[in-house]
Amino acid sequence: MSRSLGGKHATRYRQSTQDNVIGIAKRLRYLPHRGAQIMKNGRSNLIAIVHFGAGVEAAHSANLGLSRWVSKAGYDYLAILR
């Protein structure tokens, strides 16, 4: 299943098999296991931003713009206010 969903080896399978696997994954609301992806790729694709001394409102407005950019670039985003 993971090879069919991963895209890299998807051409090894008939289109009907791939469509079937993708349909089942959607019905089950399948999400890849983040820990397994990190181990396989050696990357977490997570960007953490720590706001030191910023007020909650300032940090929130900064996070809105950053989170959109980070998401478009294919990364996950974690914001921490200290």
Q: What is the pTM of this model?
A: 0.44
- Average pLDDT rounded to a whole number, residues 10-32: 85
Q: Distance (Å, rounded) from C-alpha 57 to C-alpha 70?
A: 20
Q: Distance (Å, rounded) from C-alpha 52 to C-alpha 23?
A: 45
pLDDT in tens, 34-46: 777 778 778 788 8
Secondary element (H or E) of residue 46:
strand 46-51
What's the pLDDT band for 28 if we cut at 50, 70, 90? very high
What's the pLDDT band for 27 if we cut at 50, 70, 90? very high
